[in-house]
Amino acid sequence: MIKIDLRLFVTLSGYLPEKNECLEIHENTTVEKLIRDLGIPDELVKLIFINGKRQGKTYHLKQGDRVGLFPPVGGG
């Protein structure tokens, strides 16, 4: 098991587990699997940041990663 820091923004915040500051997950978990395990519909996640850098859903999470998930954002 590894620990990550998980942050869900805007409309995704409702999917945040209670103890998110140090979420424990299995080694070799991808971002895609994390999203699925949290019950977030795939189409709701538009941007993925790991340690401040944009990543894709196939990224394998590592011990201590800071994970930020963002929904589609509109502007005007």
CA distance 74 to 31: 23
**Is the model's pLDDT at 76 over the cut of 60?**
no
Residue 19 domain-assigned (yes or no): yes
Residue 31: its pLDDT value, please?
A: 98
Provide the CATH number for the domain around residue 48. Answer: 3.10.20.30
Which residues contact residue 27 at a Cβ distance below 8 angstroms, ignoring those fewer than 6 apart?
A: 1, 2
Residue 37 domain-assigned (yes or no): yes
Which residues contact residue 10 at a Cβ distance below 8 angstroms, ignoring those fewer than 6 apart?
A: 70, 71, 73
Range of the domain at 63: 2-67
CA distance 68 to 20: 11
Q: What would the pLDDT profile of 38-63 be if each residue is shown by its tens digit?
A: 999 999 999 999 999 999 999 999 99
Residue 24 domain-assigned (yes or no): yes
Residue 17: its pLDDT value, please?
A: 83
At residue 52, what are phi and psi to the nearest 5 degrees? Answer: 85, 0
What is the domain count for the chain? 1
Residue 73 domain-assigned (yes or no): no
Q: Which pTM does this prediction carry?
A: 0.90
